[in-house]
């Protein structure tokens, strides 16, 4: 039986207008949908490269991947939206070559809509953009999904969850900042847990499908608190990259 692209063409309907290209497109769409409909009870650990040694980022990324990281979190800062500058698409592209785990790109930039195509091309698996940035949020989220990435919406500690209501049905990740964005090593803001709990409740009540990600001050005790409130993606920088045993730190975050 002839095969093309690893798919047995004998499975395609004979004597029909059903072409192989359409089969591939449908198969791809099914795979993306299957990934998005996830088990939100499973904890995903996403170490933030911002806390790594910038003199050897590739080695640092491979180190946490070997230690059991599920995703690699990449904090992109432009010096305008937040008062810090980190890295851009070139580093994302380099990390795509360095590791096999998904790249979770967090755009803390003023114009995520303008720069989005560059991060998609660089190999981002998911892209989170801020509600507070200067862009048409709905359009940007739509463009992220159409590019084949998971669409994430991030909110700062001062932003109420009610401000996201128009978008929750159309996202794959809700990123709740548990510190004020811009710098690592800050203290966890416990009051953000009310938003996490409300987001989990709304997801269940409305049949929505999104990960709840927390970012900032995440270590073993705050990860436990976040999980109890409904979060399932833990972004951890200092507590993983600067731990004596990264694998043990990741295990404790679960």
Please indicate whether residue 17 is annotated as part of the active site: no
Three-state DSSP at 178 gives coil
Q: Which residues contact 92 (CB under 8 A, 6 or more apart)?
A: 74, 76, 103, 105, 119, 122, 123, 124
How far out from the chain centre does Cα 72 lie? 9
Q: How far is the C-alpha of 150 from the C-alpha of 34, rounded, in Å?
A: 12
Among residues 70, 78, 172, 215, the one annotated as catalytic is 215
Sort strands 3-4 and 7-8 into parallel, antiparallel or unpaired.
antiparallel
Among residues 75, 78, 113, 172, the one annotated as catalytic is 75
Please indicate whether residue 53 is annotated as part of the active site: no
How far out from the chain centre does Cα 195 lie? 18
Q: How far is the C-alpha of 10 from the C-alpha of 201, rounded, in Å?
A: 46
Task: For residue 212, give Cα distances in angstroms to 11, 36, 38, 226.
Answer: 39, 13, 11, 9
Largest CA distance in the chain: 65
β strands within 23-125, DSSP E: 44-47, 72-77, 103-108
Token digits of residue 94 = 């380099």
Nearest to 208 by CA among 252, 161, 242: 161
Point out the residues that are catalytic: 75, 215
């Amino acid at each position: 039986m002839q095969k093309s692209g690893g798919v047995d063409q004998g499975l395609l309907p004979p004597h029909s207008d059903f072409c192989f290209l359409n089969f591939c497109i449908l198969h791809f769409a099914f795979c993306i949908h299957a990934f998005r409909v996830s088990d939100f009870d499973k904890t995903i650990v996403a170490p933030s490269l911002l806390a790594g040694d910038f003199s050897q980022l590739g080695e640092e990324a491979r180190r946490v991947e070997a230690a059991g990281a599920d995703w690699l979190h990449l904090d992109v800062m432009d010096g305008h939206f937040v008062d810090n500058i980190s890295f851009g698409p070139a580093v994302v592209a380099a990390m795509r070559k360095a590791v096999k785990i998904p790249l979770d790109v967090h755009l803390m930039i003023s114009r995520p809509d303008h720069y989005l195509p560059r991060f998609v091309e660089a190999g981002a698996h998911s892209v989170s953009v801020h509600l507070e940035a200067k862009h048409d949020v709905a359009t940007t989220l739509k463009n992220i999904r159409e590019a084949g990435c998971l669409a994430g919406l991030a909110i700062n500690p001062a932003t109420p969850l009610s401000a996201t209501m128009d978008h929750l049905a159309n996202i794959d990740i809700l990123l709740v900042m548990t510190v004020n964005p811009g710098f690592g090593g800050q203290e966890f803001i416990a009051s953000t847990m009310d938003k996490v709990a409300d987001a989990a409740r709304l997801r269940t009540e409305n049949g929505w499908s999104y990960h709840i990600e927390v970012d900032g001050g995440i270590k073993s005790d705050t990860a436990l608190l976040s999980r109890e409130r409904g979060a399932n993606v833990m972004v951890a920088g200092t507590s993983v990259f600067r731990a004596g045993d990264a694998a043990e730190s990741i295990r404790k975050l679960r």
